[in-house]
Amino acid sequence: MYRIRTAVTPWLLLLPAAVLLAAFTHFPAVMTFISSTFQTPRGKRPAKFVGMDHYASMLSDPVFVAALKNNAIYALGTVPASIALAMLMAVIVNSAIKGKALLRMSFFLPTVLPMIAVANMWLFFYTPGYGLIDQFLGLFGFHGRNWLGDPETALGSLMVLAVWKEAGFFMIFYLAALQQISPSLGEAAALEGAGRWYFFRRVTFPLLMPTTLFVMINAFINSFRLIDHVIVMTRGGPDNASTLLLYYVYNVAFRYWDTAYASAITVVILIVLALLAFIQFGILDRKVHYK
Amino acid sequence: MTIAASLPQSRGEKLWDLLEKAGCYLLGILWVLPLLYSVWMAFHAPEYEVRFELFAPLTLENFFNAWNAAPFGRYFLNTFMLISTILVCQFVICTLAAYAFARYEFRGKTLIFMLVLVQLMIMPEVLLVENYRTISQLGLVDTILAMGLPYMASAFGIFLLRQTFLTIPRELDDAARVEGAGPLMTLWKVYVPLARPIYVAYGLVSVSYHWNNLLWPLVITNSVTTRPLTVGLQVFASPDQGVQWSVISAASLMTSAPLLVGFLLFQRQFVQSFMRAGIK
């Protein structure tokens, strides 16, 4: 009796989590692939199998190409910038500087706030002419410009906001890692006469590597997941200059109701995420001793 | 790195040190400036939006205007209900699953654990098209439950709690069993109390995530009685509504206020919780 119970117990314990995960992660992921090979059902007409047609039309869809390109720029721009800043912030907050607590608070605050709230605040800062940024630049004689309305600066403006919002969050992980580094390493290096920059490059930075990889993967995931600021600030415009993949999915699915095509674009995001997972578990984990 | 400060310094080094410190503080000020400016705007009449005067008269009018212009009271209630539903379900569901992974051997354990971790990569909002379809087939569109369901079995929570449960000595398990306690009783009397700091950490991370979440609630709700604060703010502040900036600032601050105040009061716990959740 006892043995039967111990055999069944783990499955019963797992049941609620398994059902929900299957229903909202695994099943929809598989369904996304399947529905991307069918036409969007309209009215009573049943969906027709179209194979790879959606993927073919994607390549000639300028909005998709723009979204893909923008998302690549967005990820490759915001991820290294937030990582570098996060590292710098952690080193500052971990040093002997006065007012550490205040500095830490200042860096971390944007993380606590909802993206939608800060996006609304920054919308005002970017206002052409009298927004905070133009007023500030005006002091130095620069002319006002339409940051969010100009295809050349719209995406960059969103990226600046994203870095401001995320760097403090990643700082926390670096701070935790820095506190694990033994102070005797620093003392030894000082006795040897090593400069601070040398010490950082040869000791601190390599020791932070596992954290950097962890943060990097999370930052990349976020750059394909978080689009609140696009919705609030630019709606992908002007002329699709700031549209991101998930924002395009959202538009195609819930404004044009072309769910099949939206699924096909989602598949592209899933492939990118799968590649990231592969990098994390397949390659990097072997090179970096985790845990 | 602090050693250098105790060594005798030349004049050049001192100057460099000073510049460095100034740089650090400048970065700190730069980072908090956007928020400070929004606070300033929210507490001053609209005519000071673009005219910064240190001693301009303070006012609460923007907050009253925002509060009266949209049903923010209802939005607060919705967010509160959403977060408490999610948190309670997450705690129960993740605890049960984490216990199974930490203390039982069964066929396919590794594979199932990997399948759970998939959710760390593919968050529910990425699958919003299919998840919307599922929710509408269940007839749950525009309900609090629908906003929470996809997040209740959280891979992050399961992983975090499993790591913690693994550090608890098995002897305590056996002792409880000798006393005649079943698995659920052992879990409740031994594991949950010992993992309390992790529950606090996970709870804080989860609350701030869901307080701030926009996309999925935006898609799945369409009425005042279910909309959480983030969606409410999005509807309120849409450019075509023509609301004044200072009122939008006030509304944005209002929606973030509970988290902001909580953070300022419990800064240390917040930071430590995020650290704890991150290290695992």
Contacts of B274 in chain A (CB under 8 A): 169, 172
> For residue A158, with 0-12 CB atoms within 10 Å meaning exposed, 13-18 middle and 19 or more buried, which class applies?
buried
Chain B nearest-CA distance from A74, in A, is: 17
Q: Does A233 touch chain B (CB under 8 A)?
A: no
- Give backbone dihedrals phi and psi of A49, rounded to 5 degrees, phi first: -70, 125
Contact B100/A255 with Cβ under 8 angstroms?
no
Q: Of residues B7 and A96, which shows the higher confidence score?
A: A96
pLDDT category, A291, cuts 50, 70, 90? very low
pLDDT tens column, B37-53: 888 888 887 777 666 66
Beta-bridge partner residues of B210: none
Q: What is the mean pLDDT of residues B5-31?
A: 80
In chain B, what are the domains? 8-64 (no CATH), 71-279 (1.10.3720.10)
Q: What is the mean pLDDT of residues B118-126?
A: 89
Residue to substitute from B29, B30, B126, B156, interface A, most A β-carbons within 10 A: B126
Domain boundaries, chain A: 52-287
Inter-chain residue contact B93 with A17, CB threshold 8 Å: yes
The partner residue sitting opposite A13, judged by closest CB among B41, B96, B263, is: B96
Q: Does B16 touch chain A (CB under 8 A)?
A: no
**Which residues have a Cβ under 8 Å from the Cβ of B28 and sit 6 or more positions away?**
A99, A102, A103, A106, A107
Q: Residue B81: how many CA atoms within 13 Å on its side-chain side?
A: 15
B1 has pLDDT over 50:
no
Chain A nearest-CA distance from B94, in A, is: 7
ipTM surpasses cut 0.90: no
Contact A242/A236 with Cβ under 8 angstroms?
yes
Distance, in Å, from the CA atom of A214 to the CA atom of A202, rounded to the nearest integer, reads 20
Q: What is the mean pLDDT of residues B79-96?
A: 95
What are the structure tokens assigned to A163, written together?
A: 């870095």
Q: Which of B207, B209, B170 is nearest to B191 (CA)?
A: B170
Q: Does A91 touch chain B (CB under 8 A)?
A: yes
> For residue A89, with 0-12 CB atoms within 10 Å meaning exposed, 13-18 middle and 19 or more buried, which class applies?
buried
Please report, rounded to a whole number, the percentage of residues in chain B having pLDDT higher than 90: 32
Q: Supply the pLDDT for residue B242.
A: 67
Distance, in Å, from the CA atom of B255 to the CA atom of B267, rounded to the nearest integer, reads 19
The partner residue sitting opposite A10, judged by closest CB among B106, B208, B275, is: B106
pLDDT tens column, B269-280: 777 777 776 655
Beta-bridge partner residues of A49: A38
Q: Give the A:B interface size as CB pairs under 8 Å.
A: 262
Chain B nearest-CA distance from A64, in A, is: 16
Inter-chain residue contact A254 with B50, CB threshold 8 Å: no
What's the mean pLDDT when you consider all of chain A? 85
Distance, in Å, from the CA atom of B90 to the CA atom of B98, rounded to the nearest integer, reads 11
Inter-chain residue contact B129 with A262, CB threshold 8 Å: yes
Q: Does A65 touch chain B (CB under 8 A)?
A: no
Contacts of B20 in chain A (CB under 8 A): none
For residue B32, give the chain A residue with the closest CA.
A106
Contact A154/A242 with Cβ under 8 angstroms?
yes
Total count of residues recorded for chain B: 280
Beta-bridge partner residues of A38: A49
Q: Does B39 touch chain A (CB under 8 A)?
A: no
Inter-chain residue contact A6 with B32, CB threshold 8 Å: no
The partner residue sitting opposite A109, judged by closest CB among B35, B129, B245, is: B35
Chain A nearest-CA distance from B130, in A, is: 5
The partner residue sitting opposite B106, judged by closest CB among A11, A112, A249, is: A11
Inter-chain residue contact A276 with B132, CB threshold 8 Å: no
Q: Of residues A286 and B271, which shows the higher confidence score?
A: B271
Q: Does B178 touch chain A (CB under 8 A)?
A: no
CATH 3.30.70.100 fits A52-287, yes or no: no
pLDDT tens column, B186-239: 889 889 999 888 898 888 889 989 999 999 999 999 888 899 999 988 888 876
pLDDT tens column, B90-114: 999 999 999 999 988 888 899 999 9
pLDDT tens column, A172-230: 889 888 888 888 887 788 787 777 788 888 888 888 888 888 888 889 999 999 999 99
Q: Supply the pLDDT for residue A287.
A: 53
What's the mean pLDDT when you consider all of chain B? 85
Q: Supply the pLDDT for residue A85.
A: 95
B33 has pLDDT over 50:
yes
Chain B nearest-CA distance from A60, in A, is: 22
Contact B177/B103 with Cβ under 8 angstroms?
no
pLDDT tens column, B225-251: 899 999 988 888 876 666 778 888 888
pLDDT category, B2, cuts 50, 70, 90? very low
